[in-house]
Amino acid sequence: MNPLLKFMVICIFLMSMNCFADERRKFKYVGWFDRNFKTIIEPLSSSEDGRFVIGRDGINEATFCSVDDDYVCIFSQAYAFSFPKANTELPPSWKLHGVTYKVVRQGISLSLWGREITDAYLIETPRDANLAGRQRGKSTYTLFSRELGVLGFSFGLSPEGEADEVYWLMGAKGFGALQD
Protein backbone atom coordinates (compact mmCIF):
# COMPACT_ATOMS: atom_id res chain seq x y z
CA MET A 1 0.00 0.00 0.00
CA ASN A 2 1.19 3.49 -0.85
CA PRO A 3 2.78 5.20 2.27
CA LEU A 4 0.67 8.34 1.76
CA LEU A 5 -2.49 6.25 1.57
CA LYS A 6 -1.47 4.38 4.76
CA PHE A 7 -0.92 7.69 6.54
CA MET A 8 -4.35 8.98 5.44
CA VAL A 9 -6.08 5.78 6.59
CA ILE A 10 -4.36 6.01 10.00
CA CYS A 11 -5.31 9.69 10.36
CA ILE A 12 -8.94 8.99 9.50
CA PHE A 13 -8.98 6.11 11.97
CA LEU A 14 -7.49 8.26 14.75
CA MET A 15 -9.90 11.10 14.03
CA SER A 16 -12.82 8.70 14.21
CA MET A 17 -11.57 7.68 17.66
CA ASN A 18 -11.64 11.36 18.64
CA CYS A 19 -7.88 11.47 19.27
CA PHE A 20 -7.61 14.91 17.70
CA ALA A 21 -10.63 16.31 19.53
CA ASP A 22 -10.45 19.73 21.07
CA GLU A 23 -9.64 19.52 24.79
CA ARG A 24 -12.21 22.19 25.59
CA ARG A 25 -15.88 21.75 26.30
CA LYS A 26 -17.82 24.78 25.15
CA PHE A 27 -21.08 25.81 26.75
CA LYS A 28 -22.70 28.46 24.56
CA TYR A 29 -25.20 31.09 25.60
CA VAL A 30 -26.97 33.57 23.36
CA GLY A 31 -27.89 37.17 24.21
CA TRP A 32 -31.59 37.76 24.68
CA PHE A 33 -31.71 41.10 22.87
CA ASP A 34 -29.05 40.37 20.26
CA ARG A 35 -28.88 36.74 19.19
CA ASN A 36 -25.61 37.36 17.35
CA PHE A 37 -23.97 38.25 20.66
CA LYS A 38 -22.83 35.05 22.36
CA THR A 39 -21.09 34.08 25.56
CA ILE A 40 -19.05 30.91 26.01
CA ILE A 41 -18.05 29.14 29.22
CA GLU A 42 -15.07 27.06 28.22
CA PRO A 43 -13.33 24.90 30.85
CA LEU A 44 -10.29 22.87 29.82
CA SER A 45 -10.96 19.19 30.35
CA SER A 46 -7.44 18.57 31.58
CA SER A 47 -7.23 21.23 34.31
CA GLU A 48 -9.12 23.73 36.44
CA ASP A 49 -8.40 26.53 33.97
CA GLY A 50 -10.37 27.83 31.04
CA ARG A 51 -12.07 30.92 29.66
CA PHE A 52 -15.23 32.98 29.90
CA VAL A 53 -15.80 34.70 26.57
CA ILE A 54 -18.28 37.54 26.01
CA GLY A 55 -18.88 38.49 22.39
CA ARG A 56 -15.96 38.26 20.02
CA ASP A 57 -13.27 39.97 22.03
CA GLY A 58 -14.17 39.81 25.73
CA ILE A 59 -11.89 36.92 26.65
CA ASN A 60 -11.44 36.39 30.39
CA GLU A 61 -9.23 33.74 31.94
CA ALA A 62 -11.29 31.62 34.34
CA THR A 63 -10.72 29.14 37.15
CA PHE A 64 -13.12 26.23 37.64
CA CYS A 65 -13.72 23.86 40.55
CA SER A 66 -12.26 20.41 40.00
CA VAL A 67 -14.37 17.27 39.70
CA ASP A 68 -13.33 16.39 43.27
CA ASP A 69 -14.57 19.66 44.78
CA ASP A 70 -17.88 19.96 46.64
CA TYR A 71 -19.06 22.67 44.24
CA VAL A 72 -19.44 23.32 40.56
CA CYS A 73 -17.94 26.77 40.04
CA ILE A 74 -16.37 29.34 37.75
CA PHE A 75 -14.42 32.45 38.73
CA SER A 76 -13.40 35.11 36.21
CA GLN A 77 -13.24 38.89 36.05
CA ALA A 78 -16.55 38.95 34.19
CA TYR A 79 -18.57 36.16 35.82
CA ALA A 80 -18.55 34.12 39.03
CA PHE A 81 -20.90 31.30 40.03
CA SER A 82 -20.96 28.30 42.36
CA PHE A 83 -23.47 25.64 43.33
CA PRO A 84 -23.12 22.78 45.87
CA LYS A 85 -22.87 19.34 44.26
CA ALA A 86 -24.46 17.49 47.19
CA ASN A 87 -27.96 16.37 46.31
CA THR A 88 -29.37 17.44 49.67
CA GLU A 89 -31.55 20.34 50.72
CA LEU A 90 -29.90 23.49 49.42
CA PRO A 91 -28.86 25.97 52.13
CA PRO A 92 -30.18 29.54 51.72
CA SER A 93 -26.59 30.71 51.16
CA TRP A 94 -23.03 29.36 51.04
CA LYS A 95 -19.56 30.82 50.90
CA LEU A 96 -16.81 29.77 48.49
CA HIS A 97 -13.47 31.58 48.02
CA GLY A 98 -14.70 34.54 50.06
CA VAL A 99 -17.91 35.01 48.06
CA THR A 100 -21.35 34.44 49.59
CA TYR A 101 -23.89 33.08 47.10
CA LYS A 102 -27.61 33.31 47.87
CA VAL A 103 -30.64 31.36 46.72
CA VAL A 104 -33.11 33.98 45.52
CA ARG A 105 -35.74 31.46 44.46
CA GLN A 106 -36.01 27.70 44.01
CA GLY A 107 -38.52 25.33 42.43
CA ILE A 108 -38.71 27.48 39.29
CA SER A 109 -40.45 25.96 36.26
CA LEU A 110 -39.92 27.38 32.78
CA SER A 111 -39.91 26.56 29.11
CA LEU A 112 -36.60 27.16 27.32
CA TRP A 113 -36.49 26.72 23.54
CA GLY A 114 -39.51 24.39 23.73
CA ARG A 115 -38.09 22.25 26.55
CA GLU A 116 -39.94 22.14 29.88
CA ILE A 117 -37.63 22.57 32.86
CA THR A 118 -38.66 22.11 36.47
CA ASP A 119 -36.93 22.64 39.79
CA ALA A 120 -34.47 25.33 38.72
CA TYR A 121 -32.73 27.70 41.14
CA LEU A 122 -32.05 31.43 40.84
CA ILE A 123 -28.68 32.15 42.47
CA GLU A 124 -27.32 35.62 43.26
CA THR A 125 -23.61 36.34 43.00
CA PRO A 126 -22.88 39.62 44.83
CA ARG A 127 -21.46 42.52 42.84
CA ASP A 128 -18.17 42.44 44.71
CA ALA A 129 -17.41 38.88 43.50
CA ASN A 130 -15.75 40.07 40.29
CA LEU A 131 -14.55 43.15 38.45
CA ALA A 132 -17.54 43.35 36.13
CA GLY A 133 -20.00 43.33 39.05
CA ARG A 134 -18.08 46.04 40.86
CA GLN A 135 -17.97 48.19 37.70
CA ARG A 136 -21.69 47.76 37.07
CA GLY A 137 -22.57 48.04 40.73
CA LYS A 138 -24.98 45.13 40.32
CA SER A 139 -25.14 41.49 41.34
CA THR A 140 -25.15 38.68 38.78
CA TYR A 141 -28.08 36.25 38.69
CA THR A 142 -27.75 32.69 37.39
CA LEU A 143 -30.58 30.28 36.63
CA PHE A 144 -29.32 26.77 37.39
CA SER A 145 -30.73 23.26 37.10
CA ARG A 146 -29.01 20.23 38.66
CA GLU A 147 -29.90 18.21 35.58
CA LEU A 148 -29.07 20.77 32.87
CA GLY A 149 -26.53 23.11 34.51
CA VAL A 150 -26.44 26.86 33.93
CA LEU A 151 -29.59 27.68 31.96
CA GLY A 152 -29.01 31.41 31.77
CA PHE A 153 -27.58 34.40 33.57
CA SER A 154 -27.99 38.15 33.80
CA PHE A 155 -25.54 40.86 34.74
CA GLY A 156 -27.79 42.72 37.12
CA LEU A 157 -31.40 43.55 37.85
CA SER A 158 -32.89 46.99 38.25
CA PRO A 159 -35.05 47.78 41.32
CA GLU A 160 -38.06 47.24 39.03
CA GLY A 161 -36.85 43.71 38.18
CA GLU A 162 -35.63 44.54 34.67
CA ALA A 163 -32.61 42.45 33.65
CA ASP A 164 -29.44 43.67 31.94
CA GLU A 165 -27.59 41.51 29.42
CA VAL A 166 -29.51 38.25 29.70
CA TYR A 167 -27.94 35.13 28.16
CA TRP A 168 -29.72 31.79 27.58
CA LEU A 169 -28.30 28.29 27.05
CA MET A 170 -28.03 27.25 23.40
CA GLY A 171 -27.18 23.55 23.82
CA ALA A 172 -28.72 20.49 25.41
CA LYS A 173 -26.81 20.93 28.70
CA GLY A 174 -25.10 23.90 30.25
CA PHE A 175 -22.03 24.39 32.33
CA GLY A 176 -22.13 22.48 35.64
CA ALA A 177 -24.83 19.91 34.86
CA LEU A 178 -24.68 17.49 37.78
CA GLN A 179 -26.81 14.67 36.38
CA ASP A 180 -26.16 12.61 33.26
Domain that holds residue 60: 22-169
For the segment 98-115, the average pLDDT, to the nearest whole number, is 92
Task: Measure the CA–CA gap between 180 and 166, rounded to whole angstroms.
Answer: 26
Structural domain count of the chain: 1
CB 76 within 8 A of CB 70: no
Asked if residue 130 is part of any domain, the answer here is yes
Whether 6 shows a pLDDT value over 70: the answer reads no
The 10s digit of each residue's pLDDT in 21-71 is 343 478 999 987 766 677 888 887 656 888 888 777 788 899 999 888 999
Instruction: Say if residue 12 is exposed, middle or buried (CB neighbours under 10 Å; 0-12, 13-18, 19+).
Output: exposed
Asked if residue 125 is part of any domain, the answer here is yes
Whether 162 shows a pLDDT value over 60: the answer reads yes
Range name among 4-18, 22-36, 104-118 with the lowest pLDDT average: 4-18
Instruction: Please report the pLDDT score of residue 178 as a whole number.
Output: 81
Asked if residue 89 is part of any domain, the answer here is yes
Asked if residue 178 is part of any domain, the answer here is no
Higher pLDDT, 53 or 4: 53
Asked if residue 1 is part of any domain, the answer here is no
Reduced 3-state DSSP string for 60-126? EEEEECCCCCCEEEEEECCCEEEEECCCCCCCCEEEECCEEEEEEEEEEEEEECCEEEEEEEEEEEC
For the segment 67-90, the average pLDDT, to the nearest whole number, is 91
For the segment 166-176, the average pLDDT, to the nearest whole number, is 91
pLDDT bin (cut points 50, 70, 90) of residue 180 is low
Task: Measure the CA–CA gap between 169 and 149, rounded to whole angstroms.
Answer: 9
Asked if residue 138 is part of any domain, the answer here is yes
Contacts of residue 131, defined as CB under 8 A and 6 or more positions apart, other chains included, come to 77, 78
pLDDT bin (cut points 50, 70, 90) of residue 87 is confident
The 10s digit of each residue's pLDDT in 120-155 is 999 999 988 877 667 777 888 999 999 999 999 988
pLDDT cut 70: percent of the chain above it = 77
CB 31 within 8 A of CB 167: yes
Whether 108 shows a pLDDT value over 70: the answer reads yes
